[in-house]
Amino acid sequence: MTAPTPNTPWRLIIHADMDAFYASVEQQDRPELRGRPVVVGGSPDGRGVVAAASYEARRFGVRSAMPMARALRLCPDAVRVPPRFDRYHELSQAIFGFYRELTPLVETLALDEAYLDVTAIAGPPDDATPLGLRIKSEVRTRTGLTVSVGAGSSKLVAKVASGHGKPDGLVVVPAGAESAFLGPLPAGVLWGVGPKAAAALEARDIRTVAQLAEADPAVLRVIFGSRASAVAGMARGEDDRPVEPVRDHKSIGAERTFPRDIGDGPELRASFEHIAAEVANRLNAQGLEAATITVKLRYADFRTITRQTRLAEPSADAGTLRAAAVRLFEQTIQPEDRLRLLGITTSKLTAQGVERVTQLPLW
């Protein structure tokens, strides 16, 4: 990076991502689990899914969102631990409290993940290594856990960098080196390039980010439609999105598009648990709870419907959200229906811990 001027502003963005957060917390709190394969999630008998897997379990092919029964078949020696979201939230608050001591420009993505705009505090703009080392050291001191840190001139570069160094990594991409860093990587590292798009690109001999950046725009329009120019821009390292420390959420949700149309069954039911857990994580990361839940169903013919209900009381509990979503689903689904997408959205959001007063009848 060069020194900033009115015509050439620079930014330094850090993406901090805890390593196998839920599983690492369990290993930290229970020393007998350290060094052993650990999977956090629901019971295999109840169609549970993996919320997190330790790196020891990942060596066997275990991944988050995988049905728990399959995970335990892949790794029979794994120790299954039910999630403790209260504990994860407690440690998340300690971690994010430190981030906000560094800079007010902290954008929360989940309980274990955030962007930090450290432009004003980074020191020499071409060297983020000392600050990255400080973040890693302080997080370990306060929690005993490891965090992977990526630093660059944009959210895109910082996030790819943090993933590139996992676990317990620190990767700094100097300004001007974005293309050199991104170019050799698989095109699938870019946001919006999912498995289907990556396969379509590979069929046209476009495998790396550099090849994607140089691809014929007409080819990209066939694959990405209206998003083609944005994807090409990302491949060139273009990303001017700001770090947004405060967002007035009207709703928080998550959804999953299935690789093939599916009917009601174990895979679909397991998706409810995974999606509800993701929504709960996002609510807890923002210190929010929801009073209303909406289920979104997209059928094989692309027909899309939503169904909504009000919770008995506001909640950010994954089990509560899942149960409400499943009830809506069961009131709607027919035996012959096949779905392309399932989504859960929460709304009527309020801050957690706000005291509620119930008015008693006058007479």
Q: Model confidence over 20-70: pLDDT tens digits? A: 999 999 999 999 999 999 999 888 876 677 889 999 999 999 988 788 889
Other beta carbons within 10 Å of 135: 23
Q: Which CATH superfamily is domain 13-18+89-175 in?
A: Reverse transcriptase/Diguanylate cyclase domain (3.30.70.270)
Q: Can you name the CATH fold of 21-85?
A: MutS, DNA mismatch repair protein, domain I (3.40.1170)
Q: What is the pTM of this model?
A: 0.73
Residue 89 tokens, joined: 């939230």
What integer pLDDT is reported at residue 258 of this predicted model? 83
Q: What is the average pLDDT score of the chain? A: 87
Distance CA(198)–CA(206), nearest Å, equals 8
Residue 310 tokens, joined: 């009000």
What integer pLDDT is reported at residue 123 of this predicted model? 63
Q: How confident is the model at residue 125 (pLDDT cuts 50, 70, 90)?
A: low
What integer pLDDT is reported at residue 359 of this predicted model? 41
Distance CA(278)–CA(83), nearest Å, equals 12
What are the residue boundaries of the structural domains of the chain, listed by start?
13-18+89-175, 21-85, 181-235, 251-351
Comparing 13-18+89-175 with 181-235, is the CATH topology the same?
no
Distance CA(160)–CA(15), nearest Å, equals 9
Q: Model confidence over 239-279: pLDDT tens digits? A: 889 998 866 668 899 888 887 889 998 888 888 988 998 89
* Average pLDDT over every residue of 186-212: 91
Q: Which CATH superfamily is domain 251-351 in?
A: DNA polymerase, Y-family, little finger domain (3.30.1490.100)
Active site residues: 113
Please tell us whether the domain made up of 181-235 is placed in CATH 3.40.50.720.
no
Residue 209 and residue 236 in contact, taking contact as beta carbons nearer than 8 Å: no
What integer pLDDT is reported at residue 3 of this predicted model? 38
